Chain A
Amino acid sequence: MAVAIAVRIRFFARLRELAGAEIEALQVPPGSSLADVYDALRAKHTTLPGRESVRAALNQEFADWNATVAGGDEVAFIPPVSGGGA
């Protein structure tokens, strides 16, 4: 039985700059949720903002924080998009 699964993390915009990476491979325990993944990333990149100000995407779709990740999944944490403006 696997003790860890690998997910691919993608960072964009301000989060990319805060994390200092565009793509990162992360090992998490099987059964981890998107919230668990984000908490693990925040432990590593301490300047990442709190969960309340980002949305999670799993395999290129917005997803709930309690969604479970699987090996090989693409996970992205998405800051609020541009809004207003024009």
Chain B
Amino acid sequence: MRYDVQKDPIDPRELEAAVTYPGAGAICTFSGIVRDSSRGQAVTHLDYEAYAEMAVPQMRKIGQEIKDRWPEARVAMAHRTGHLEIGEVSVVVSVSCPHRAEAFEACRWGIDRLKESVPIWKKEHAADGTYWIEGDQAKPVA
């Protein structure tokens, strides 16, 4: 189990190495990537801000929720903070399980929970201005 909020680039292979075990026949890794457009606008870069002292425990809680549902799963999560360019990895969730069906399911569940309950925010620098992304809303920076 490994949970990180980090300024440095994330290497998804390192998270996979952290979850691998002899009984794991499947590792499913989700990588979120900075995309060059949003809301029909070109995006130049992003800034992520975290409440790190809460974000890491929230990730650990999600890892425990995954273990409750898929007891054989092992979980690792990492999220970047700071300035990110297009194409960089912003978030990774890696889950190992004996078989692929539960690895896919648990990984999907993990990234969905992370996005709704881990206090990390995205500031989007786009062609039409700068926005804080709050759920499905984009709020212009005052």
Query: Across the interface, which residues of B come within 8 angstroms of A60, CB to CB?
Result: 51, 53-54, 57
B78 to chain A, nearest CB (A): 14
Q: Which of A29-86 contact B (CB under 8 A)?
A: 47, 53, 57, 60-62, 76, 78-86
Looking at A78, A80, A85, the one whose CB has the most chain B CB atoms below 10 A away is: A85
Q: A13-B49, A60-B54 are contacts. A81–B136 as well, Cβ < 8 Å?
A: no
B85 to chain A, nearest CB (A): 15
Query: Across the interface, which residues of B come within 8 angstroms of A85, CB to CB?
Result: 32, 35, 38, 115, 122, 133
User: How many residues does chain B have at the interface if contact means C-beta atoms less than 8 Å apart?
Assistant: 30
Q: A17-B142, A84-B115, A86-B35 are contacts. A76–B134 as well, Cβ < 8 Å?
A: no
Q: What sequence of 0s and 1s flags, for each residue 67-97 of chain B, a beta carbon within 8 Å of any chain A beta carbon?
A: 0000000000000000000000011000000
Is there a chain B Cβ closer than 8 Å to A18's Cβ?
A: yes
A61 to chain B, nearest CB (A): 7
Are A81 and B132 in contact, with the CB atoms below 8 A? no
Q: How far is the CA of A76 from the CA of B121 in the complex (A)?
A: 14
Query: Across the interface, which residues of A come within 8 angstroms of B123, CB to CB?
Result: 13
Are B142 and A18 in contact, with the CB atoms below 8 A? yes
Query: Across the interface, which residues of B come within 8 angstroms of A10, CB to CB?
Result: 51
Q: Which of B92-142 contact A (CB under 8 A)?
A: 115-123, 132-137, 139, 141-142
Is there a chain A Cβ closer than 8 Å to B33's Cβ?
A: yes
A-B contact pairs, 15 of them (CB 8 A): A12-B49, A12-B119, A13-B49, A14-B132, A57-B119, A61-B54, A62-B117, A79-B121, A80-B135, A80-B137, A82-B115, A82-B135, A83-B135, A85-B32, A85-B38
